[in-house]
Amino acid sequence: MNIEVIAIGDELLRGLIVNANGAFISRALCLQGLKVARHTTLPDHFDKLKEGLQEALQRATCVIATGGLGPTCDDCTRKIAAELFHSPFHFDKRVAEDLKRRYGQDLITLQDQATVPSHAEVILNTVGTAPGLIFHSAGKTLILLPGPPPEMQPMFTKDILPFLKRHFPQEHKEKIEQIHLCLLNENLIDPLLRSLKERYPQIDFGIYPGYGTVTLSLSAQDEKALQSAKKEITAAFPHKIFSSPQGTIEEALHLWFLENKKTLACAESCTGGMLAEKIVSNAGASEYFLGSFVTYADALKQSVLHVPESILKAHGAVSEEVVRAMLDGVFQISGADFAIAVSGIAGPAGGSTGKPVGTVFAAIGQRGHPPDVVRFQLTGSRQTIVLITTFRLLAALWRKVVHKIPCFQG
């Protein structure tokens, strides 16, 4: 069983959009024990697309392609797939009825979208207009799905995964263990990983750095070796390993707050709402998350969070004194059990000699207790600084609540 995932569209090759479908599909397959051998992104150009699809079908048993199915005139994937699988087209009444029901009689692309290759299994699209198609013959499978993630994702989960499980039962049960770490960098894990790799040659090790977190992936058929290696890693980083099905620190934090029935609020400046956004990306965050005060303007830091004007004037908005006052303010207004306050210079402008771009001050605390306050210095683009700040603060709070360790200790 050899799977390749293809994304189709000039928009991807021109960098207009990021290919998120490859990761979504790969992750879903990986969780089923199915490995993806390659991702390819191909243009909307008929001959080049046909060539790329043919190559992939030669290498792989199953090719899953997204995009190029829309009713617009630059989409030619269906035609190519029908050629490759020698299929005529026919008008599919079931697709037509479904489109009429959802879009009305006047949908101009109805005729086009309901005309499908006769040799393909048709998957109805519950969100958009283009149906999915499964070609399956002579030991090769080609699955075509619409490109927009809101259309592709439900189709993949509801129809394609069950199809794959039915047709490609897992052959050799390779076990995969993922270990998620925070608050450390790649260089710190390297010596241990080198040693483990020597002593466990039967295990495949992977190390995947994120913004402020690192995921280790161990895969092997030898379950005993896998657990033994995992134990060594766990012992080496007892307070830096977090547990999260999705592998995100915001989910680990989410699970703790749900379980411990404590509440959380934020006071943000440079992160501009990203702390809140990461927290509420978890369904059910409303159980504990009260909200965030994105006080971008100093006037709002004063009027909403009650940061004294004198402190802002004396120390500047990016200072230890201001994040302490912001934290006091957010506790006072929200009554939350825990809170994060942050103010920094995300750049590219706004830096000074004493506080260059990338200077961040943060305060994290529990109501009624003295907060942990820190200054750190980051480098990179505006977006990088905001991302690293966000995930570092979420990780620091996670370690504080789970392991009772001051937020900004090594």
Contacting a copy of itself within 56-85 (CB under 8 A)? 70-74
Neighbours of 11 (CB within 10 A): 17
Quick note: the x/- pattern for a copy of itself over 151-170, rule CB under 8 A, is: --xx----------------
State the Cα–Cα distance between residues 89 and 193, nearest whole angstrom.
54
8, 41, 329, 398: which one binds a copy of itself (CB under 8 A): 41
Quick note: the x/- pattern for a copy of itself over 356-385, rule CB under 8 A, is: -----------------------xxxxxx-
Q: Which residue has the tokens 């299929």?
A: 87
Helix (H) or strand (E) holding 27: helix 21-31
Q: Which residues pair with 376 in a beta bridge?
A: 360
**Does 231 contact a copy of itself by CB under 8 A?**
no
**Does 96 contact a copy of itself by CB under 8 A?**
no
Instruction: Give the count of alpha carbons within 13 A of 106, CB side only.
Output: 0
158, 194, 199, 313: which one binds a copy of itself (CB under 8 A): 194
**Does 296 contact a copy of itself by CB under 8 A?**
yes
Q: Are strands 359-366 and 372-377 parallel, antiparallel or unpaired?
A: antiparallel
Q: How far is the CB of 277 from a copy of itself (least distance, A)?
A: 4
**Does 32 contact a copy of itself by CB under 8 A?**
no
**Does 201 contact a copy of itself by CB under 8 A?**
no
Q: Report which DSSP code applies to 343.
A: E
**Does 260 contact a copy of itself by CB under 8 A?**
no
Question: Is 141 within 8 Å of 167 (Cβ atoms)?
Answer: yes
Torsion of CA 180, 181, 187, 190, to 10 degrees: -50
**Does 316 contact a copy of itself by CB under 8 A?**
no
Toward a copy of itself, which CB reaches closer, 60 or 87?
Answer: 60
Question: Is 212 within 8 Å of 183 (Cβ atoms)?
Answer: yes
Q: How far is the CB of 20 from a copy of itself (least distance, A)?
A: 5
List, in order, residues 6 or more apart from 109 with CB less than 8 Å away.
71, 129
**Does 349 contact a copy of itself by CB under 8 A?**
yes
Q: Interface with a copy of itself by CB under 8 A: which range of 32-40, 237-245, 254-262, 367-375? A: 32-40
**Widest distance between CA atoms in the chain:** 77
Toward a copy of itself, which CB reaches closer, 374 or 386?
Answer: 386
Toward a copy of itself, which CB reaches closer, 74 or 223?
Answer: 74
CA angle (72, 6, 39) in 5-degree steps = 150
Of residues 122-141, those binding a copy of itself (CB under 8 A): 126-127, 129
